[in-house]
Structure 1
């Protein structure tokens, strides 16, 4: 999952939960954070595979819904913190969006604030894998920063710079944020229907339901 960003995850682990509410620069990114997690959990069924659980906030909501959860996290520091929260209530393993091993078939793949760590080519590789693993009716439910157009993405960088939000502007340029049309194409060519719901000025929920076999 964007192994080039692993050092950032390690550095951010201890302050991640606090930054959700106390970092003014990222306030708009995490606006309605709890509501976003609840929306992802509500759309999930069966055996849920969660990529990038971070400190385990979504994991707890999935567990509370009575779902079987396999949480896949590349960062040792994040895994340690998540383990302290969830205990033995979910399986927590090392891996990422593209490299993982499951002990049973998944019904839903979920992720929040993480898919942008993959390039568009890697996103396509990931979606192909999920299509091969999911049954008909299985889902991908990802909440992440994405844009309606490339122009809107470029404007977001300019807006952050003008507001003096230099860390946010740097993040937007360093990582691999993409557009809804690109994600729609990737999902549909791999057998999924698509639905997008805007959650705040940055984050959308992307929901794909598998309706036929890829290809």
Structure 2
């Protein structure tokens, strides 16, 4: 991670008003859809870390018993709360929180996150996943910038100045170390995808680090991978 929590928060505070109207890539939207699909939110309590303007949290709120959105950007959270109020969604709430301090004492069934963890160094990703595991969810659904192979340095899907993506293999290893089995690895792009990790005592067969291909819908573009869904940092 090349910026502090405060710097990430300020960056997304500045972007919050226009974030939903930004031209996000098809890859970003495909990851959003996959996170929602794999969350299996029906009747569940779901924690969304790096919730941003609430794209995933609000989508899950229709079926979930409760959705808890956490982010470090007050500007993003303000937009998320306004959207929830406008839609009359009472099952979702938003407050400040991060991967390493999610400020959540609820019993959660699932933890989700999209395009947020790549701001952390690999060491901080491990701490984040350990923190998530300590909440004892049944499953974790992580959509993010992640390397399924050797990234093409001429066509990065992220900004090296602010982002620090991990390999899929590293993420799978960390989930395994904390007692989870990665049961799905959806490759949306060579540098982006979705992992589903379930508690090892209840999970089905684990998958390899290469995962399942989803046909890429767009070429890699430079920039901040369209920004995380909320500029989440530790």
State TM-score, norm by structure 1. 0.80
Work out whether residues 40 and 110 of structure 1, in 8 Å CA contact, stay in contact via their aligned partners in 2: no
Alignment of 1:32-47 (within 5 A): 32=30, 35-42=33-40, 46-47=44-45
Unaligned residue ranges in structure 1 (runs of 5+): 161-167
Asked whether 1:159 is paired with 2:155, we answer yes
2:10 corresponds to 1:7? yes
Deviation at 1:89, TM superposition (A): 3.2
The separation in 2 between residues aligned to 1:35 and 1:57, in whole angstroms, is 10
| Equivalent in the alignment of 1:209 | 198
1:100 deviates by: 2.4
Alignment-derived partner of residue 199 in structure 1: 188
- State the 4+ residue runs in structure 1 displaced beyond 4 angstroms: none
CA RMSD of aligned residues (A): 2.4
Query: Which of structures 1 and 2 has the larger relative contact order (alpha carbons within 8 angstroms, sep 6+)?
Result: 2
Considering fraction of residues, name the structure with more helix: 1
The 8 Å contact of residues 29 and 201 in structure 1, kept in 2 or not, is answered as no
What SS is found at the alignment partner of 2:181? strand
Report if the CA contact (8 A) 2:139-2:199 is conserved: yes
2:174 to 167, 186, 206: 186
Gaps of 5+ in 2: 202-234
Contact 2:41 2:63 in 1 (8 A): no
Three-state SS of the structure 2 residue aligned to 1:158 is: coil
The number of residue pairs the alignment matches comes to 193
